[in-house]
Structure 1
Amino acid sequence: MQIKLCEQVFNPWQEIEQYQASLTHLAGKYGATGVFVGSMRDFNQGDDVTSMYLEHYPGMTEKQLQQIVEQAQLQWSLLDSLVIHRIGEVNPPDVLVLVAVWSAHRGDAFDASRYIMEQLKSRAPFWKKETLVSGQHRWVEKNTTGYQQESR
């Protein structure tokens, strides 16, 4: 398991490739890699957004992410996992988050990657301050449901 917070732009596909290359002890053991990549949109709550600043609580954020991944490992048969999340200044269309899990079977990979992402959105201590096109700043008070139509 690897959890990383970073201030720099990163390429999620390179990160997966590099991390997977280090999993030599798992060669032939995984049949599925579940991946979620989240990018910053240029809109939120009906407004155009030019940038966002992500704050976190050092130490606490990493610990919470580790607990989330450990809970996923208890529920599904995972061989390994990688979570990378941006902090600091982020601009559209920068990648915000990568969640990747390796397992023998697709069901575990699909379900665990979704679980980790949903728990991250609801439990991990990140605070987001958006800069709107108008120049105004506002704190994001709640995350979306993850669907285009909020009623789902």
Structure 2
Amino acid sequence: MRRTTTSLALAAAALLLAGCGSNSGSDSAGGGKVSPSAPSAPASGGCAADVQLKAADGGRTVCVEKGGEVRLTLDGTKSRPWKPVMASGTALRGINAGFVIQPGDAGAAYHAVADGTVKLTSSRPLCAQPTAPGQVSCKGIQDWTVTVTVK
């Protein structure tokens, strides 16, 4: 019981802290944030001011306005952890992504600083690694890639 209570308290504190400073500076509801998994596009038909990415968004291409933000959270496990997210290209600059709460998760945040295209990548094992001698080993890798266009 103590472990559950402590875990819940830590999770609640982390969520509270994560909310601090996450305002994009907009007073409008939603702040122009768009999740690529959502079926709707930005109202203007252009790029989103801010983009939130998850593991399910792998393989997609998204567009963010110059000056906007891209934030991502990949939920993993201790036995199937995500590798740190890598960015190739110069259109995004890394910013503080906050805390990673669970072992195996990966998080990243970027500020869109220039027009261009960036590939965000990560990977994790397809299956849990053996914990005892004689168990079958899995060598498969799950890749995650999202292409971000900044305009």
Q: TM-score, normalised by structure 1?
A: 0.30
The structure carrying a bigger helix percent of its residues is 1
Q: TM-score, normalised by structure 2?
A: 0.30
Higher relative contact order (CA 8 A, sep 6+): 1
